[in-house]
Structure 1
């Protein structure tokens, strides 16, 4: 490692020398990240024993406020964003450990209440509100979407079934956010799904909420952990389909 006495004044360093110093700092950050995730694992283990919730927004805000007091205002917003992301990644890891320990299957409750009779529903959606309301009907009727085709801008075909076994390796998950203030939530939701490489393939919004389609296999362990996290942190989000 380059000692401080040998390190050149930043003003006189060339780009290669600056990058060398960045590598040194990044390696330190990597080691600290590994230590932090180990501690996050210990937190998850402790909370698993007590049944305590993983996400505590009030506590996280206090931590952010305390740690950002002495940060240069020119990089304050960047630091807060970095800190929030670190906390999010920590929670994601804790949820994955908790889901594995409990063998959480986030789709079980949905399948338990699915109606015995399969049906097919075709919706000619003249507006996004009509489409959203129709999906809410399916949710309240305990139906589970196992097919979703968009024939054109105004026509949607939904197939509902009483089992996920019709598709052995589903590639899509359909979520509904039943909240008129969905626009305040969707950024956080999509940040989580992006961390799990669950690509957003479709979004339909209305005055009362939104529909989100993800390119994801509901049976994949990582996706299972992601869905467990979403259902734990957002009260008004539901899984309504997989296909």
Structure 2
């Protein structure tokens, strides 16, 4: 488990030392997207090992980053009130526990100790204060941890969820608890290769997770609000992430 977080730290160190990608290499579409989304291209990510053992402390870290742009933000520069996120642990039996990670310069960190066999899920769902913006940005992050064989965690109740079928390469996107057909999933692999996937009618897509290392999977969905919505907003942009370690 320590080696997994060490490999994450190695990735982070490489990202922090890489040079900024030249804007000349970006397509017009990507540039327009960046202008619209701005800092919201970043997302919250939970880094942790996917397996654990009963009675042993299981560490995790939470980053605010855009890995496609080789950018990890220091906690002091996180967008709006994102650093006020709440992190919840869902046990195989459905018990929900609020975790209290500690902030460092670049991430939050903490641990939990499994006491049940089955699938645990770490999850965040935070809608940032939009300020004067007409678009609200909601950041959802997930991590699944298997402790031997046992029950799967319950379906997430957050607005947008990205979950992985038990230790497989199949990913599922849920929007307000239901399968999201034609949903968008972007995956950045260990060697910087990318995958752009669309979910089927059941909200699922099969990813290629063949190489060892960390895959950064992100689902996005924008909800356009009615004109003159009481909130004063025009849209809600949502993302859901998983950092998947393959060893």
Q: TM-score, normalised by structure 2?
A: 0.27
Structure of higher RCO (CA pairs closer than 8 Å, 6+ residues apart) = 1
Q: Please say which structure displays the higher CA radius of gyration.
A: 1
Flag the structure with higher strand content: 2
